[in-house]
């Protein structure tokens, strides 16, 4: 909201078609302590289960979570427990067997404002683990704009694309890098910045990250954490990671995924 190609050009599926929506639980106090605003939106996963087509066993079972806008959520747990599968559902790359993935607006008293809206895949950007392995283009510019229309377009459309491109580059600190440079020649940290820019140019509301610090040296890891702290000001971020201590300062909500695809809200042990 092909999985490999999503790093270079997001893969968008049609909007999910869920069963009837149940009234959602309120977001726990720990997930938005200290935040005050005149109304807000939050991502809500409501009783979602997932069973791959042709199989008889669920990979995810009755998953529910809420993540307020411009917050950082962290999923942790053992490998193979279903964390990445949940990200794929949120990105629209697979559809839940049952349950609902939506966005709900609330007033400043915490009461729902109108009906919830389904989370459309076009509102989601996803960066998979080791995204640099799937770079396809010869230049940074071509990598960021991979999949953009190449035919002649009107001036206003070209101007809009140029502004989105510049905004994404600025957001991830790639200003000092030549757009004609080979993506594979970049350092590990700058490759991760490029992967983020590829998604940010689509102006998503929700940014999904699968192991964003994996395979990086200590300096690159620190740089990416600092970048995510800055991106959090304007984006809702949900990450899967085993690097709990390094991401801890960013985290507003955290959940442990247990084997069998069971999710429990749980504070980090620090």
Is residue 270 domain-resident? Answer: no
- pLDDT (tens digit, 0 to 9) for every residue of the chain, 270 residues total? 333 333 333 333 333 333 443 333 333 334 544 444 569 999 999 999 999 999 999 999 999 999 999 999 999 999 999 999 999 999 999 999 999 999 999 999 999 999 999 999 999 999 999 999 999 999 998 999 887 766 666 667 767 778 888 899 999 999 888 989 999 999 999 999 999 999 999 889 999 999 999 999 999 999 999 999 999 999 999 999 999 999 999 999 999 999 999 999 999 988
Number of folded domains that form the chain = 1
CATH number of the domain at 181, please: 3.40.50.300
Residues 6+ apart with CB under 8 A from 153: none
pTM: 0.82
Domain region containing 49:
5-14+35-265
**Is position 26 within any domain?**
no
The pLDDT, as a whole number, for residue 8 is 36
Residues 187 and 212 sit within 8 Å (Cβ to Cβ): no
- Cα 65-70-74 angle, rounded to 5 deg: 45
Residue 25 lies in a domain: no
pLDDT for position 155: 65
Residue at 30 is within a domain: no
CA-to-CA separations, 27 to 41, 185, 234, 259, 265, in angstroms, rounded: 11, 44, 20, 24, 11
> Does residue 228 sit within a domain?
yes
Closest CA to 209 of 201, 218, 200: 200
Query: In this structure, is residue 21 part of a structural domain?
Result: no
Rg from Cα positions in the chain? 18
> Do the domain assignments include residue 117?
yes
> Is position 90 within any domain?
yes
Which helix (H) or strand (E) element contains residue 27?
Answer: none
């Amino acid at each position: 909201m092909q999985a490999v190609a999503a790093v270079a050009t997001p893969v968008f599926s049609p909007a999910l078609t869920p069963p009837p929506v149940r009234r959602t639980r309120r977001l726990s106090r720990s997930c938005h302590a200290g935040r005050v605003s005149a109304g807000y939106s939050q991502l809500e996963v409501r009783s979602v289960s997932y069973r791959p087509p042709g199989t008889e066993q669920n990979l995810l079972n009755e998953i529910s979570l809420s993540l307020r806008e411009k917050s950082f959520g962290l999923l942790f747990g053992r490998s193979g427990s279903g964390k990445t599968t949940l990200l794929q559902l949120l990105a629209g790359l697979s559809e839940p067997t049952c349950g609902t993935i939506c966005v709900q607006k609330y007033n400043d008293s915490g009461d729902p404002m109108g009906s919830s809206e389904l989370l459309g895949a076009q509102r989601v950007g996803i960066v998979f683990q080791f995204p640099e392995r799937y770079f396809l283009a010869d230049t940074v510019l071509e990598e960021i704009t991979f999949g953009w229309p190449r035919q002649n377009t009107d001036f206003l459309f070209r101007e809009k694309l140029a502004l989105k491109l510049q905004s994404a580059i600025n957001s991830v600190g790639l200003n000092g890098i030549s757009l004609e440079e080979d993506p594979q020649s970049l350092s590990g940290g700058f490759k991760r910045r490029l992967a983020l820019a590829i998604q940010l140019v689509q102006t998503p509301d929700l940014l999904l990250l699968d192991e964003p610090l994996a395979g990086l040296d200590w300096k690159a890891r620190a740089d990416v954490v600092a970048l995510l702290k800055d991106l959090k000001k304007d984006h809702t971020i949900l990450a899967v990671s085993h690097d709990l201590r390094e991401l801890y300062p960013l985290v507003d909500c955290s959940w442990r995924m247990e084997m069998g695809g069971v999710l429990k809200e749980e504070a980090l042990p620090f």
